[in-house]
């Protein structure tokens, strides 16, 4: 599948496509799948629900957004490949993330979903011949060729994957630690003796426990200088 010309997608998407290296795009999608899946496996589950600022997405929500957009753009590629030129409406990414409940899931489940979705997407894209890859359609108010879509997907994943790289994930999504007690704040039991100096208790104690197309950008991500919003 050949690299698309600039006339095959809206100017806004150039910021994603230009990030994709030269070479076989289907091979690159497969490499991305393996690298991103491996990176997600390294992130502790307890970090998955953290967000670096109020109103920003958590680690799990970033991954969930990537999955949603992957699925949306694969549907667009399929529609255009089947000579259904649309128009296909856009999606409101913030509404989708808010409704998805990604934080209630495990990172492992999201990682597995991404891995299987990307694998099935590669199979779909491999089935398109050159004539099919040049078919066009309208989605989210923008015109695309079929072959532009895998490049958008690759650039979009690279864009968000940088947020989850070390040490960025630790700086932006810190795990909150319990504060250490000062010496004079050491918990006391009856008689004033510190807990660590008491003997074993007799009873067990339970401790309670362009505007960007709405389907692409994470909240608060600024466009690079010179990028124009799509119509």
Q: Which domain does 129 fall in, by range? A: 6-172
Give the pLDDT confidence of 75-134 residue by residue, as tens digits: 999 999 999 999 999 999 999 999 999 999 999 999 999 999 999 999 999 999 999 999
Residue 38 belongs to a domain: yes
Residue 181 belongs to a domain: no
For residues 26-48, give the mean pLDDT. 94
Q: Could you give the CA distance from residue 80 to residue 11 in angstroms, rounded to a whole number?
A: 19
Q: Could you give the CA distance from residue 173 to residue 175 in angstroms, rounded to a whole number?
A: 7
Residue 190 belongs to a domain: no
Reported as type and span, the H/E element at residue 160 is helix 148-161
pLDDT at 171: 53
Residue 214 belongs to a domain: no
Residue 77 belongs to a domain: yes
pLDDT at 215: 61
Q: Could you give the CA distance from residue 94 to residue 62 in angstroms, rounded to a whole number?
A: 11
Tell me, what CATH number does 49's domain have? 1.20.120.450
Give the pLDDT confidence of 38-87 residue by residue, as tens digits: 999 999 998 899 887 788 899 999 999 999 999 999 999 999 999 999 99
pLDDT at 195: 42
Q: Model-level pTM?
A: 0.73
Residue 198 belongs to a domain: no
Work out the pLDDT band at 213, boundaries 50, 70, 90: low
**DSSP letter string over 81-132?**
HTT---PBP---HHHHHHHH-GGGS-HHHHHHHHHHHHHHHHHHHHT--HHH
Give the pLDDT confidence of 161-193 residue by residue, as tens digits: 887 775 445 555 554 544 454 445 544 444 444
Q: Where are the beta strands (DSSP E) in the chain?
A: 136-139, 142-145
Q: Name the nearest CA neighbour of 25 among 90, 131, 112, 118.
A: 118
pLDDT at 224: 39
Average pLDDT, the chain: 80
Q: CA 138, 30, 121, 162 torsion: positive or negative?
A: negative
Task: Give the number of domains in the chain.
Answer: 1
Residue 204 belongs to a domain: no
Residue 131 belongs to a domain: yes
């Amino acid at each position: 599948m050949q690299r698309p010309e600039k006339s095959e997608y809206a100017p806004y998407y150039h910021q994603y496509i230009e990030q994709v290296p030269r070479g076989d795009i289907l091979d690159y999608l497969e490499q991305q799948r393996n690298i991103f899946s491996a990176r997600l496996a390294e992130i502790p589950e307890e970090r998955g629900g953290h967000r670096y600022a109020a109103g920003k997405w958590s680690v799990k929500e970033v991954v969930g957004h990537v999955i949603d957009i992957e699925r949306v753009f694969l549907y667009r590629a399929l529609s255009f490949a089947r000579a259904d030129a649309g128009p296909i409406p856009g999606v409101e990414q913030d509404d989708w993330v808010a409704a998805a409940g990604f934080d209630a899931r495990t990172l492992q489940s999201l990682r597995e979903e991404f891995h299987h979705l990307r694998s099935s997407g590669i199979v779909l894209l491999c089935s398109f011949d050159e004539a099919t890859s040049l078919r066009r359609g309208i989605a989210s108010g923008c015109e695309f060729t079929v072959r532009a879509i895998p490049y958008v997907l690759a650039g979009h994943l690279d864009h968000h994957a940088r947020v989850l790289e070390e040490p960025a994930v630790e700086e932006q999504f810190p795990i909150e630690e319990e504060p250490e007690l000062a010496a004079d704040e050491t918990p006391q039991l009856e008689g004033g003796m510190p807990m660590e100096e008491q003997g074993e208790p007799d009873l067990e104690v339970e401790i309670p426990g362009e505007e960007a197309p709405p389907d692409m950008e994470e909240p608060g991500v600024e466009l690079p200088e010179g990028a124009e919003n799509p119509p």
